[in-house]
Amino acid sequence: MSVRELVVLGTASQVPTRHRNHNGYLLRWDGEGILFDPGEGTQRQMLRAGVAAHDIDRICVTHFHGDHSLGLAGVIQRINLDRVPHPVTAHYPASGQHFFDRLRYATAYRETVELAQAPVDGEAAVLAVTDAYTLEARRLSHPVESYGYRITEPDRRRMLPALLAEHGIAGPDVGRLQREGALGGVTLDDVSETRRGQRFAFVMDTRLCEGVPALAEGCDMLVVESTFLDEDVRLAEDHGHLTAGQAAGVARDAGVRHLVLTHFSQRYADPAEFERQARGAGFAGEPHPRRVQGRGGVGEYRPGLAYRVRDTDEGRATVPASGGVTRSTLRQQIADALRDEILAGRLQPGEEFTVKQIAEQYGVSATPVREALVDLTAQGLLDSDQHRGFRVHEFSVDDYKGMVEARSLVVNGIFRKITELGAAHGPALVSVRRPSW
């Protein structure tokens, strides 16, 4: 999956309410699913949200209070019941190993899936490095040992179609330039720019400490607890939590683009007050296409990739951030750029390419590229081959004859309709002449 999505499964703290489930958050990240803090009822919320056990590749637990971990037993057993075909890795504080073991083996079941355990220890740790991201953890400040998690995407290069065209580079030459770094005196820097990798942070139960701003720094999205409103700051400090204003202040100072407040105390009925206090603390973010709050809310941000926040709870207060380019507009931009390449002759008839090659050429994800190529195929500019990808259509004489005939039919139909309208509304349009061909 190339669309990055945060699925909010629950937003309550300590106890669930009529409208808020215990915690649970699934982050979809380019084909991987990372489940954070599965509280009680997570398995049912997954069903409501359309999240399957097969979607889970990692489980990250911040600490072993019940509202963040009681769902582990059900989720782990469901992973095994559904015989998830890939290994799953669990991260959690090493000091809570006995809690993890009790939850993993809370009842009898048949283990069918490899569940790797990678507990966290120390002040900070790098937990995983993949082609798609680096996963890190930092210690937070709570009555029990607690960690926050941060995901960082590597910086990549984004190819710029206008500069490629200016230097006469198209088709397979683009891939060659990317691999070799230079082609015919043109360097990669001449036709591309650095695309900063995205950053995501997940910060749950903690009071203000060094780990919070370190995790939040420069994030495109920060999911952070805000258990209390600002007037209850004393309670927040005593119990190891943040207020809405404190969380927003961290986001403001860290340059966060999109702020998601969650983990609300049951004493508050209206989560909208959390957003008001966050705005009052000075978090402004960037312009956003629409307000995102409540059941089914969706927010998209970050040029080049679409991010969504999908909520199955009624409690989340999202403070919107940037506008960005959605997948649908990116799809249109790619289709327009490729159409121009074809019509200008820079992509030759019969030339073949794959979704992956085009995605790498433009430095975007595969989904909008595939959709753009399907659109161009429907328009007759490309041919699709199930095993070889796509090919620029080679027009024959019969194709051109068909185009001329189609054009004639359309034009004749327009004039016929105009004539009919003229007859119905008086003599003004009766004298319209049909084309002479």
* Distance between CA atoms of residues 53 and 398, nearest Å: 52
> What contacts 10, CB < 8 A, 6 or more positions away?
16, 20, 21, 22, 23, 24, 39, 41, 42, 45, 312, 313
Looking at the DSSP assignment, which residues form a beta bridge with residue 202? Answer: 149, 223
Helices (H), 203-316: 211-216, 233-239, 244-254, 272-280
* Distance between CA atoms of residues 277 and 230, nearest Å: 7
Whole-angstrom CA distances from 45 to 25, 120, 290, 317 are 10, 27, 25, 18
* CB 90, CB 100: distance < 8 Å: yes
Q: Which of 37, 55, 67, 311 is catalytic?
A: 67
DSSP string, 328-388: HHHHHHHHHHHHHHHHTTSS-TT-EE-HHHHHHHHT--HHHHHHHHHHHHHTTSEEEETTT
* Distance between CA atoms of residues 249 and 230, nearest Å: 12
| DSSP H or E stretch at residue 53 | none
**67 belongs to the catalytic site:** yes
Phi then psi for 259, rounded to 5 degrees? -110, 125
The total of other beta-carbon atoms located within 10 Å of residue 296's CB is 8
Residues tagged active-site: 67
